[in-house]
Amino acid sequence: MCGIIGYSGPKEPLPILIGGLSRLEYRGYDSAGVAILDGEKLTIEKKEGKLQILKDHLENSKINGNIGIGHTRWATHGVPNDVNAHPHSDNQKEFAIIHNGIIENYAEMKDDLLKEDFIFESDTDTEVVAVELGNQWTGRLLETVTNVAKKLDGTYALVVTSTKEPGTIVAGRMMSPLVLGVGEGETFLASDSAAILEHTNKMIFLENGDFVEITNGKFKLFDINMNEISREIQEIDWKVSEAEKSGYDHFMYKEILEQAEVIERTISGRLEVGSEEIPIDLNKAKGFEKIWIVACGTAYHAGLFGKDLFEKVLGVPVSVELASEFRYREPIVGKNDLGIVISQSGETMDTIAATELLKENGSHVLALVNVVGSSLARMADSVFYLHVGPEIGVASTKAYLGMLVGQLLLAKHWDSEGKLDTSFDEIKQLPALIEKTFECEDQVKKISKSINEKNDIYFIGRGLDYALAAEGALKLKEISYLHAEALAAGELKHGTLALIEEGTPIIVTASQHHLLDKTTSNVQEVKARGAYVIAVGDSSSKKLQDISNDYITLPEASEMLSTVISIIPLQFIAYHVANLNGESIDQPRNLAKSVTVE
Ligand code: F6R
């Protein structure tokens, strides 16, 4: 949430900042701003609204300099407007600061500063830090920033520059991600590696409490007490083109269509028995007493799918938990338990806190994450990377599929008794199967026209299909703003059936053969109340086909893989409904990618 970019080196900073912010806009898009330092001249420009407004504003301006920092905002404190946009300044306009995270004790700090006659222009917590920097100047920027950081409660990735020390940027992090890009005689800063990938693939992922002092393109790392430290440089193998729209109207659409290719990478090298890419072997897996799958949003929905698989193959109870709830209750976690934390970004605040809880209780933590070097990847005892490349669309698609396939691979490796109705040979064919599933798109486009004007849409399914239904409903509501709800099909008659009337769209996922008759009966019940039924299943579901208004036929596959590919028509439904309604698909209102605040 909120995007950060910074540059120090021989090039003009402004184009680099604007390029970086364009790649970061998915992290927040209610305002954006830049600060450029040219010797002792500090220029700050910021605008409410999408980045394009700032770009238009800066189009003919020539702001030269040797240092620059930029920010795209997802509002926490204060409404989105020009004044609340970052960068913020101290009272003398000598410091410029950008910040991700939340300073929890900002009100107390502000009261103290007000008593000393400092003034404030904005409603943000960040401005308090800027004013405090002006108040605490020690003669060295690094010392001033670390001193102020010691007073802060909460979370931050801070980037600061000042006319008092021209040529220097100081940055630091506590719980909010910050990446250093190491170039030839130049250094970049970003909240997200994809933002600077076009300049360098050499990255340092700062740890909590790390600070960096960058002067004339060169950097030194310190802890909060200004002791020099070192961190490993990692090479990121993502392709720049993966972080670009490449002619598509939307990242989300591009990412849906990339799924065959990226799943090839998820499964690559992981299909052989004994593969070293599988971080926990069968013997170890069998020894766990309980499994906790903990995640948020889409990743949580992926966990619902994993639960049934792991219980089936290991005979170990599995609990799927929302990280935001799990972290604040007192779950009975034991040292012989396995925590599986699932996250695209690896930076979701609630999932990180839940991981800490699991570790404090002595359980082994396995992270299924996409972003290499992310906080969760570093905290976990074992890591399974999804390898689906950068996901820019706020609505997760390819990462979700990667999470399903990742869990399927783990479960298959732990399936000593052949309980899952799929084989490594069949999983190898998954990319081709995904490609074939794309053929339903034209049909989905037509179906989308029948639901784009409805206000309430219900997704139903049983077993693993219910897990998919939950994700289908979330996808639709987050980008189309229509109310969508997922229900276990058998739950309808316990209340929600009261809402079904003539023409209410019901989207049914029915890949689970052993549950087909039961699901079909539930469909009969909604049909009897006039519902408009759109079903997704394979060609064996004759009865369901006959009673559905529209039937999307999946290509032939085992039941397990049919479930996995069933998400594709649901992703297309969400995309095409939102597109018909002209919604801002990659930047849905009120949302942003990578939820690094509570
Ligand atoms: C929805 C979506 C979110 C994320 C959630 C967790 O499309 O993307 O629900 O799944 O914010 O994010 P990660 O996976 O980064 O932990």
Task: Check: CB of residue 46 under 8 Å from CB of residue 82.
Answer: yes
Domains of the chain from N-terminus onward = 3-236 (3.60.20.10), 241-428 (3.40.50.10490), 438-598 (3.40.50.10490)
Q: Establish whether residue 345 lines the binding site of ligand 1, counting it when its CB lies within 6 angstroms of any ligand atom.
A: yes
pLDDT tops 80 at residue 564: yes
Ligand 1 atom at shortest distance from the alpha carbon of 594? 15
pTM for this one?
A: 0.89
Comparing 82-96, 125-139, 418-432, 582-596, the range with the smallest average pLDDT is: 582-596
Question: Is ligand 1 within 6 A of the CB of residue 541?
Answer: no
Please report the pLDDT score of residue 216 as a whole number: 93
Q: What is the mean pLDDT of residues 534-562?
A: 95
Q: Which of 74, 345, 376, 386 has the most ligand 1 atoms within 8 A of CB, as the residue to mutate? A: 345
Question: Strand 202-205 to strand 234-235: parallel, antiparallel, or no bridges (unpaired)?
Answer: antiparallel
Q: Is the distance from the beta carbon of residue 296 to the nearest atom of ligand 1 less than 6 Å?
A: yes
Mutate to test the pocket of ligand 1, among 251, 298, 401 (most ligand atoms within 8 A of CB): 298
Of the residues 2, 254, 307, 477, which is catalytic?
2
What share of the chain in percent tops pLDDT 70?
100
Cβ–Cβ < 8 Å for 370, 383: no
**Alpha helix (H) residue ranges in 344-397:** 349-360, 375-379
196 C-alpha vs ligand 1 centroid, how far in Å?
22
Cβ of 471 less than 6 Å from ligand 1: no
Confidence of residue 7 (pLDDT cuts 50, 70, 90): very high
The pLDDT mean for the chain works out to 95
Strand, helix or coil at 4?
strand
Q: 197-207, pLDDT tens digit by residue?
A: 999 999 999 99
Sign of the torsion formed by the C-alpha atoms of 402, 334, 312 and 415: positive
- Does residue 352's CB lie within 6 angstroms of at least one atom of ligand 1? no
When pLDDT is averaged across residues 557-571 and rounded to a whole number, the result is 97
Ligand 1 atom nearest to CA at 351? 16
Would residue 2 show up in a list of annotated catalytic residues for this protein? yes
Model confidence at 2, in pLDDT bands (50, 70, 90)? confident
Known catalytic residue at 296: no
pLDDT over 90 at 367, yes or no: yes
Residue 172's pLDDT is what? Answer: 98
Q: Is the CB of 348 under 6 A from ligand 1?
A: yes
CB of 478 shorter than 6 A to ligand 1: yes
State mean pLDDT over 87-98: 97
* Res. 582 pLDDT band, cuts 50 70 90: confident
Each residue's pLDDT tens digit, 439-475: 999 999 999 998 888 889 999 999 999 999 999 999 9
In degrees, to the nearest 5, what angle opens at C-alpha 393 toward C-alphas 389 and 398?
45
Residue the block writes with tokens 């799990």: 326
pLDDT by residue (tens digit) across 149-166?
Answer: 999 999 999 999 999 999
- CA of 280 from ligand 1 middle (Å) equals 25
- Can you tell me the mean pLDDT for 402-410? 98
Please say if the pLDDT value at position 555 is more than 90.
yes
CB of 396 within 6 A of ligand 1: the answer is yes
351, with CB counted inside 10 A (0-12, 13-18, 19+), is: buried
Q: Is residue 429 within 8 Å of 467, Cβ to Cβ?
A: no
222 CA from centroid of ligand 1 (Å) = 32
